[in-house]
């Protein structure tokens, strides 16, 4: 099965395999601007680096949606599993955090700069708290360690 070739964001009839090194949008050779760090789209090439916002609004929306879906779904599954087997209070939140980090990275189109790590940590912590039984987790120090581990592995998942 072949995957479709993306088309340039400015020229919808031109297929391309190039993408902007800043925002990740597909660009054709007509739109491409050569920069010291790769090819850029015209919009990213003309904005000074210190004035550039990191990520597009669609990146933030996709990162939040994907991370929240994995965090909530994984948190509910974690709650069910921990309620049934009573062990894995560190390993399972680590897996949850890693999954949330990968989901945020997918939504952010592999961008790893701030604020995406903070977003991944926040969503992983919410998922781990849900998995630990809600705010009752505050009474169990070992479960709190699982929440911290979920946050750590969320960043690791984002960077992987």
Q: Report domain extents, the chain.
A: 1-52, 57-159
Q: What local confidence, expressed as pLDDT, does residue 50 receive?
A: 55
Residues 6 or more apart whose Cβ sits within 8 Å of residue 60:
108, 119
Q: What local confidence, expressed as pLDDT, does residue 146 receive?
A: 81
Question: How many C-beta neighbours within 10 Å does residue 58 have?
Answer: 12
Mean pLDDT value across residues 3-7: 85
Q: Where are the beta strands (DSSP E) in the chain?
A: 18-19, 26-27, 33-35, 38-40
Q: What is the DSSP letter of 128?
A: H
**pLDDT tens per residue across span 113-133:** 778 898 999 999 888 888 777
**pLDDT tens per residue across span 104-118:** 999 888 877 778 898
Instruction: Specify the higher pLDDT residue, 85 or 98.
Output: 98
Contact 27, 8 (CB under 8 A): yes
Burial class (CB in 10 A: 0-12, 13-18, 19+), 67: buried
- The chain-wide mean pLDDT, for the chain, equals 83
Is the pTM higher than 0.75?
no
Q: What local confidence, expressed as pLDDT, does residue 4 receive?
A: 83
Q: Is the pLDDT of residue 137 over 70?
A: no
Instruction: Specify the higher pLDDT residue, 140 or 56.
Output: 56
Instruction: Give the span between the Cα atoms of 129 and 59, in whole angstroms.
Output: 25
Q: Is the pLDDT of residue 55 over 80?
A: no
């Amino acid at each position: 099965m072949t995957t479709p070739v993306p088309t340039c964001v400015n020229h919808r009839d031109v297929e391309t395999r190039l993408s902007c090194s800043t925002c990740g949008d597909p660009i054709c050779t007509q739109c491409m601007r050569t920069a010291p760090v790769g090819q850029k789209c015209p919009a990213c090439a003309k904005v000074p680096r210190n004035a550039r916002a990191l990520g597009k609004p669609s990146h933030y929306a996709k990162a939040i949606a994907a991370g929240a879906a994995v965090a909530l779904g994984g948190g509910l599954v974690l709650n069910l599993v921990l309620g049934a087997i009573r062990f894995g209070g560190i390993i399972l939140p680590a897996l949850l955090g890693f999954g949330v980090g990968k989901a945020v990275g997918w939504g952010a189109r592999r961008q790893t700069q701030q604020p995406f790590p903070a977003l991944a940590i926040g969503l992983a912590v919410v998922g781990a708290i849900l998995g630990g039984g809600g705010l009752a987790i505050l009474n169990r120090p070992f479960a709190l360690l699982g929440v911290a581990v979920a946050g750590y592995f969320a960043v690791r998942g984002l960077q992987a």
